[in-house]
Amino acid sequence: MTKLLIITQKVDENDQLLGFFIPWLQRFATHFSKVHILCLEKGKVDLPSNIEVHSLGKDSGNSKIQQLLRFYRLIYQLRDSYDAVFVHMNPIWVVVGGIWWHLLDKKIYFWYTHKAITFKLRLAEFFADIIFTASPESFRLPSKKVIVTGHGIDTDLFIPNSVQNPEPLSLLTVGRIAPVKNYEVLVDAIKLLNDPRFKVTVVGEAALKGDKDYEQKLHNDINQQGLSSQFMFRGKIKNQDLVLVYQAHSIFIHMSKTGSVDKALLEAMACGIKVISSNDSARAFLPAQSIFNENDAQDLADKIKLAAEGSVLPEMRDYVVDHHNLDKLIDLISLRLQSHRS
């Protein structure tokens, strides 16, 4: 079996944003005889015995130069312990490792899902042999190397609640708190609804200073509009516990401006709750009544009313299972990663 080197930002099952990658690693372990992982930070992990995690030291205070030197040392020391490289999301590692991996005759595979086209991304596209992305909107740099795979949603974990029905006017939004997530539109929509029965749970945290300022402004706006009793901010929740949060709500609101298919939207659909989105990419698979115009609080309020009165569409979960299933994704990627050995 082929041996694999994976480069990722963080390996930690308790991380809300990146904890989803743990099931990816567990499934990769079934396809490869040995998996080495290089990450900036290592948290709590419980992985199969054929996976070895190497932190570059951000978690212990190493400088960026120290992290880079450790990266170079490890990719050389481990050169006989991997046949291919899989870089998850961050193009800089494809750039700084690309020339060395090519000299070592290691194929480079890159996963990227973001609308931004940066100089680093252009360089990464040059060095990568294959680029995987979740949707056509998730990788916008023209390239013949791109393979659209769908997202990797663990549909065995994210399942509908078969025990009890949540409150019909309970709303949920999940994601980091930042201007790109457009939370102020939801605040304005709740004000327009003028119905205290609508309750909103916000799951996520503000990671950067600018994001924290944005979150404080949101709290101020909510208080000034007399909506504090209708909003609950729960902070970050580890990915594996999110299923219980989805199941406890009736309507998921997705306002992100990223333009690509959002993982949280698909997780909500897999859990069988109603969803509303302004994302352009969601128009390809959501019915018209589940789409609202970006930045249009009145349209969002109208769609929330429609969703509250309607029923769940079972084909929403079916869509995720058919097009964004984690097992199918890892099978596809692993087949590609192993193909250069044949």
pLDDT in tens, 194-238: 999 999 999 999 988 889 999 999 999 999 999 999 999 999 898
Q: What is the mean pLDDT of residues 91-95?
A: 97
Query: Which pLDDT score, from 0 to 100, does residue 259 have?
Result: 64
Query: Which pLDDT score, from 0 to 100, does residue 326 have?
Result: 96
Alpha helices in 110-208 (DSSP H): 119-127, 183-193
Lowest mean pLDDT across 43-57, 73-87, 288-302, 328-342: 328-342
Confidence (pTM): 0.90
Query: Which pLDDT score, from 0 to 100, does residue 339 have?
Result: 78
Go through the domains of the chain in sequence order and give each one's CATH number.
3-152+325-339 (3.40.50.2000), 170-322 (3.40.50.2000)
Please write the tens of the pLDDT for every residue from 153-170: 999 999 998 777 788 899
Distance CA 342, CA 340 (A): 6
**% of residues, the chain, pLDDT over 90:** 78
State phi, psi for 106 to the nearest 5 degrees: -110, 125
Q: With 50 as the cut, is the pLDDT of residue 342 above it?
A: no
Please write the tens of the pLDDT for every residue from 257-292: 666 778 999 999 999 999 999 988 888 899 999 999
Q: With 70 as the cut, is the pLDDT of residue 1 above it?
A: no
